[in-house]
Amino acid sequence: MLDVNLIDPVAFAKSALLQDDSISLAQLDERVAQHEFLAHADTTLHYRLKGGVDKLQRPFLDLSIQGELQLACQRCLSALPFVLDETVRIVLFSDEAVLDEAMDSDPDLEGVLAESELSVWSLLEDQIIMALPYAPRHDDCGNDDLERVNADKPNPFAQLAKLKRNQ
C-alpha cells in the first residue's frame, strides 16, 4: 500500500502533484498532539500540498493548513479558540551551498535540502508549531476574581516613577 505521508519531494514538485486531505492531531507526533498549549487534541485540520516549479526552475511545495484549535489560555487556563490558517512555499534545493546563498539573498525564502523521502506529516507538524502563539490568552478572561486581585496591586512601574520623582 502506498503511504501518502511519505513522498519524493522533487518528483512530487516536478509532476505538480496535489494532496488535499484532512488529518487529526492525534495522528501527528506528540510534540503537536500533546503540546502544552492544546486544551483539546481531538481536532481535525485540513491541509493542501501542491508541487510545482518556479520561474527559476526550482522545485517547490506549497503547503496550506486550516482549522480551529482549542488552546489553553495562559491566564485562566480555559479553552481559547485559535484559527489556524497557514500557507507557506517551501523551495527545494539539492545543494547546501546554493540553499545558503538563496537564503542569504532572500530572507523571506523558506528553503530546505531535498531528500529522497519526505514526511508530509513532519511538514505539517513544523508549520503548526511555528503558527502557535507564544503565550495564548484571552483579551479579557471574564474572571472577576482575577480582575479583583490584579486591581488591588499597584503598578510597579508607577511606584518606581513616584520614587524617582521624590528624589
- pLDDT of 4 reads 65
- Location of C-alpha cell 502544552: 36
Return the domain boundaries, the chain. 6-166
Q: So what's the pLDDT on residue 117?
A: 93
Please write down the long-range contacts of 76-81, taking CB distance under 8 Å and 24 or more positions apart.
Answer: 76/138, 76/141, 76/142, 76/143, 76/146, 78/39, 78/138, 78/141, 79/39, 79/40, 80/39, 80/136, 80/137, 80/138
Query: What does pLDDT average to over the chain?
Result: 86
Lowest average pLDDT, out of 40-44, 86-90, 149-153, goes to 149-153
pLDDT in tens, 26-60: 888 888 877 778 777 788 999 999 999 999 999 99
